[in-house]
Structure 1
Amino acid sequence: MSDAATLSPDALARACADAMWQDDRASQGLGMQIIDIGPGRATLQMTIQPHMVNGHGIAHGGFIFTLADSAFAFACNSHNDRTVAAQGSISFIRPGKLGDVLTASASEISRSGRSGIYDVRVTAAGTVIAEFRGHSRSIGGALVPSGTANAT
């Protein structure tokens, strides 16, 4: 793995995502893919599969929340500061359907000290499915080693 102090912000965000993805069995197990990553932002996709549909024949909200939460996690960890969710909420706008490719795009709204706020928009074919807001908390440590100092 590259030394964090020598990486550009975009390359550092990618290296952090790669380090997290390696052990992220939840996101991998649901078939998520990282589409885009950068400082304070992440876009993930997931296809609604038969086991993700509820008794109403629509995507179970928990799977939509999980996709949004994963995008949030990759965005808030893109600065090489280990970060976890402190709180997250979601508003469902429209139902997801079997076979829909959902895209969750997370962006940093605020980051100060150990706290951050991130918004995630979940879409299907350009139509908004849900809006998520997450509050993050830094727990210390780096995802990518640095030879001198934390490269955040």
Structure 2
Amino acid sequence: MSDVPTDLREQINSDPFCELLDIAFVDIDVGTAQAELTVTDELLNFHGTLHGGAIYSLADAAFAAASNSHGDAAVGLESNISYLAAVDVGETLLATAEETHLTDGTGEYEVTVTNGDGDRVATFRGRVYRP
């Protein structure tokens, strides 16, 4: 059972941008989160490959859920992503965010994005400020 309050879980799950991209939260716990996205034709770029922004958005959603799971507002300070492999239409990606450092004022998170075979397709790192 998660220690994340039900109202906060519902708030995270109702994110309008995630709903637009069809990003679903699989798990949210204190300091961690998982989100998934199935690749569709609408998410491809002009090369016919998955748009990097879609992968970034998935990772960022997991990052936001994990960093806000403590119940206090957390706002992004910085982030970066490394794209490691191509993804095909129909594949479902899983972004897993884990808290790697936490202080009273900041937090750091690493997000791994994997395909259905468990192969890493991207690595995202982000820091937040807790006002």
Question: Into which bin does the TM-score normalised by the smaller protein fall?
Answer: over 0.9
Q: SS of the residue aligned with 1:80? A: coil
Q: TM-score, normalised by structure 2?
A: 0.93
After superposition, give the CA deviation of every residue in 1:121-144 in whole Å (9 maximum; x if it has no partner): 0011111100000101113xxxxx
- Equivalent residue, structure 1, for 2:87: 96
Q: SS of the residue aligned with 2:3? A: helix
Structure 1 residues 13 and 69: CA distance shift in structure 2, 3 A: farther
Runs ≥4 in structure 1, deviation > 6 angstroms?
A: none
How far does residue 13 in structure 1 lie from its aligned partner after superposition?
5.2
Q: Is the 8 A contact 2:4 2:28 kept in 1?
A: no
RMSD over aligned CA atoms reads: 1.4
Name which one, 1 or 2, has greater alpha-carbon Rg.
Answer: 1
Structure 2 Cα separation of the partners of residues 44 and 130 of structure 1: 14
Runs of 5+ consecutive residues of structure 1 not aligned to the other structure: 1-7, 140-152
Q: Which amino acid aligns with 1:129?
A: V
1:34 counterpart = 2:25:
yes
Q: How does 1:35-50 map to 2 (within 5 A)?
A: 35-50=26-41
Q: How does 1:1-152 map to 2 (within 5 A)?
A: 10-12=2-4, 14-22=6-14, 24-125=15-116, 126-139=118-131
Q: SS of the residue aligned with 1:72? A: helix
Structure 2 Cα separation of the partners of residues 17 and 89 of structure 1: 25
Runs of 5+ consecutive residues of structure 2 not aligned to the other structure: none
Q: Provide the identity percentage.
A: 33
For this pair of structures, how many residues does the alignment match?
Answer: 130
**Higher relative CO (CA 8 A, sep ≥ 6), structure 1 or 2?**
1
Q: TM-score, normalised by structure 1?
A: 0.81
